[in-house]
Chains A and B, each alone.
Chain A
């Protein structure tokens, strides 16, 4: 528990630093203050990709090793990934509304593919909820977890595959298209969000472990009381 508290403490400090950088970096000339949303939008979606990648890794490792902690990793990561995808979608819509004049623009395939990815993992979580037995749950969801990750490259490369309103990757092998102050602020926020993700993962996996232990048959109330044997009962 101390480990998780420390992790959350570090995450809170990192988020505070990230917020400071996000608010002090110069705004974009055209987009104004709305450009600061990049410091939430990009880290959230980066974490969603990371989370779903780890879900796939946990699923594949479970199928290979059949160790329960891999299933815990996969499910915890999927839950957190769905949360960050929702945050990424929401901030994208707010940003799109300000810049394009519409919250949902069909000219942006990344928005649509991200929404679809969100539903893929909602399906994954729904499948987990539909099964009670932990072993069956792990077996079935690991198959889906291993397949669902194909959605991630489709979302990432959608801006290259289609004609789109959405800008292409800002950070490329040949350098960045962003001003250095904005880039530094965004990267610090990416790091801060990643620490938050690690803290949330540690907490969620601990909860999952406790949930599993609570399902194991243990001592029932009244187990200590034994029925009297007839030959021990003395006539009064």
Chain B
């Protein structure tokens, strides 16, 4: 099996497991929408404020709940499954890239639905070109968070406090992604270019991809 065949197969299996478990779309997504409802209630019903903070709340919830998507149960391999992958000769780098694809797809769906919910509930004044900017930002944000989640999930495999520890690792490291994504919409509102912010996210994604693929084998050994 070639590298890409393995990668696609891993991603396909992950997405199929996720479809059966439904962690992301049946649990995390409704929870995030509830959180969208909580903010205006906590702030007080002031429509101008709610409308202004909408995009910022969206990205804040995107990172917090996105971590749950990235660290979802369906990508936690048991020792037996890891051994099976090793015996079957699955390339650790292919496993990493496959995880990013499946995580990225799920994250993208999650963010798009959450964005629609935010637009509906908060009614923000979105400048022209917001939807295309949002699509580009979400794609880059999703890939980056999936990469970070996969890496953090791997280094914390089998640890007692895995979920909390992995979140502590992912949240601060995702800063360039949050800044890039939130500032790109902000830049659009100000009428300045979004290229700097898109580049920031793209460079972060690329760096994480290179590091992840390069370290996939040592990581595989580390978690045995």
Contact = CB atoms under 8 A, between A and B. Distances in A.
B151 A130 contact: no
A127 B211 contact: no
Contacts of B221: 139
Interface string B41-76: 000000000000000000000000000000000000
A127 B165 contact: yes
B156 A143 contact: no
Interface stretch (B14-22, B87-95, B169-177): B169-177
B215 A146 contact: yes
A143 B222 contact: yes
Interface in B175-210: 175-176, 196, 200, 204, 207-208
Interface in A148-167: 148, 150-151, 154, 161
Interface SS of chain B: helix
B171 to A, nearest CB: 8
B1 interface: no
Contact of A144 (B161, B169, B208): B169
Contacts of B213: none
Contacts of A130: 156, 159-161, 165
Given A63-B218, A130-B156, A144-B155, A113 B211 contact: no
Given A123-B165, A131-B159, A140-B155, A147 B173 contact: yes
B176 A148 contact: no
A111 to B, nearest CB: 13
A116 interface: yes
A118 to B, nearest CB: 8
B136 interface: no
Contacts of A20: none
A119 interface: yes
A117 B200 CA distance: 17
B219 interface: yes
Contacts of B215: 63, 143, 146
Contact of A127 (B169, B173, B175, B176): B169
Interface string A95-136: 000000000000000000100110110111011001100001
A143 B208 CA distance: 11
Nearest to B207: A150
A154 B175 contact: yes
Interface string B116-148: 000000000000000000000000000000000
A136 to B, nearest CB: 6
Contacts of A143: 151, 154-155, 215, 218-219, 222
Residue among A117, A123, A146, A154 with most chain B CB within 10 A: A123
Nearest to B221: A139
Nearest to A62: B218
B84 interface: no
Nearest to B167: A123
Contacts of B211: 146-147
A141 to B, nearest CB: 8
A142 B204 CA distance: 19
Given A139-B218, A146-B211, A117 B155 contact: no
Residue among A130, A142, A161 with most chain B CB within 10 A: A130
B165 A154 contact: no
B168 interface: yes
5 contacts: A124-B169, A131-B159, A143-B218, A144-B151, A146-B215
Interface of A: 63, 113, 116-117, 119-120, 122-124, 126-127, 130-131, 136, 139-144, 146-148, 150-151, 154, 161
Closest 4 CB pairs of A and B: A139-B222, A119-B172, A123-B168, A123-B169
Given A116-B172, A127-B156, A143-B155, 6 more contacts: A120-B172, A126-B165, A140-B155, A146-B215, A148-B173, A150-B204
